[in-house]
Amino acid sequence: MITVEVYSFCMVYEIATALLPVFFALALGFGAGLRGYVDNRDVSSINKLVMDFAIPASLFVSISSTDRSDITAHAGYIVVTVVALAVVYAVTLVLQQRAFGLQKAEAAVQALTVAFPNYASIGLPLSAAVVGGRGAIAVAIGLAVGAVTIVPFSLALLEDSKLGPDAPGSTLSRFGGALGKSVCRPIFWAPMLAIVLVLSGVHMPGLVEKTLAPIGQAGAGAALFLTGLLLSAQKVSFGPNVAYGIVVKNGLMPLFVWGLCLLLGLDRLSTTEAVLLTAIPCGFFGLVFSPPYGLQSRVAGSTLMLSTVAGIASLSVVIALLPQHV
């Protein structure tokens, strides 16, 4: 018989196993940026390494080694992810302009920061620790959903703001252009290619997986280090807007997703994946995309920083409440 003390120890150990590696790598990046060991202002080279090489290779290798049934089992998860990202983004975008008084460009950056979890860095190691290898598929789907919906829409709004009201073309046409660029990025097409190959019954030769493995193994660690660097460059301030972002991203969004999973009757494993990955703190895409448009959002930077710190507690609660031994 398992005593309360043993169960409590096992739970604490499981939470520590899932979160300690994640936040240790984040802390390394944060410390390196804060002390000036690594430039935390110009992170374009590290960003390209992570987003164009390491993470795509990691996702491709992880997904190509799964079964077709693992992918088809994610149909309900896809619906939940689309609805969750779209609803949180739309509500936040409207509130940023009407309630918090931000201009369209900064409102888009903040909405993207709040609505898009940090799949790219925290998603892979966290899902692997909690749900195993199948978690890579869920991470890839989350990234793909964002890449074809809220990311290009945010870029279109940033372009609108930069060009002004007399710019040729429409927001819709700029959305199409941004969408085209988004799907051409390796972080989108590499995992999608792996999914297509698995669904088609094509198995990758072992030599291909072994060739891609070394660069892929650098993905999660480098992405977490990059996030820490970005956090170290933020000038943090706290106010109602930042509080809104933290509450929505770390608390209300996973609750909303849990409700959607119950409504749609998702199985236990899919529900665990959906809730866990949407409970991940804010992502850094908005901060990476905005500088070329002449925008540095202190609100988005503060939200990213404080949401990540709060994630230590909120993710611990989520992991403790999720069904065990999925």
Nearest in space to 174 (alpha carbons), one of 142, 145, 192, 151: 151
Closest Cα to residue 181, out of 222, 153, 218? 153
pLDDT digits (tens, 9 = 90+) for 220-273: 788 889 888 888 888 888 999 999 999 999 999 999 999 999 999 999 999 999
Q: How many other CB atoms are found less than 10 A from the CB of residue 212?
A: 19
Print burial letters for 96-131: b (CB count within 10 Å at least 16), e (below 16). Answer: bbeebebeebbbbbbbbbbbbbbbbbbbbbbbbbbb
Per-residue model confidence as pLDDT tens digits over 179-216: 787 778 888 888 888 888 888 888 878 888 888 888 88
pTM of the model: 0.87
Q: Which residues pair with 105 in a beta bridge?
A: none
Residue 79 pLDDT > 90, yes or no? yes
SS3 (DSSP) at 27 = helix
